[in-house]
Amino acid sequence: MEQLGAQIVSPERQTPESLHKWLAAEVAKWGPILKAENISIN
């Protein structure tokens, strides 16, 4: 898979808790930008 350019996720990052933490960080990062530009996701 790596030869095809796929990024392999390490086992410790394959948990629901890890996904929740990553998603919360992405919302915190992109949320203000989307609000400032009046962009909504439907």
Q: Spell out the SS3 assignment of 1-42.
A: CHHHCCCCCCHHHCCHHHHHHHHHHHHHHHHHHHHHCCCCCC
- Domain residue spans in the chain? 13-37
Is pLDDT at 37 greater than 70 in this prediction? yes
Mean pLDDT, range 31-37, rounded to an integer: 95
Is pLDDT at 23 greater than 90 in this prediction? yes
**What is the C-alpha to C-alpha distance for residues 1 and 42, in angstroms, rounded to an integer?**
32
pLDDT of residue 2: 64
How does 1-12 read in b/e, with b if 16+ C-beta sit within 10 Å?
eeeeeeeeeeee
pLDDT of residue 3: 72
pLDDT of residue 10: 80
pTM as predicted: 0.64
Mean pLDDT, range 14-33, rounded to an integer: 93
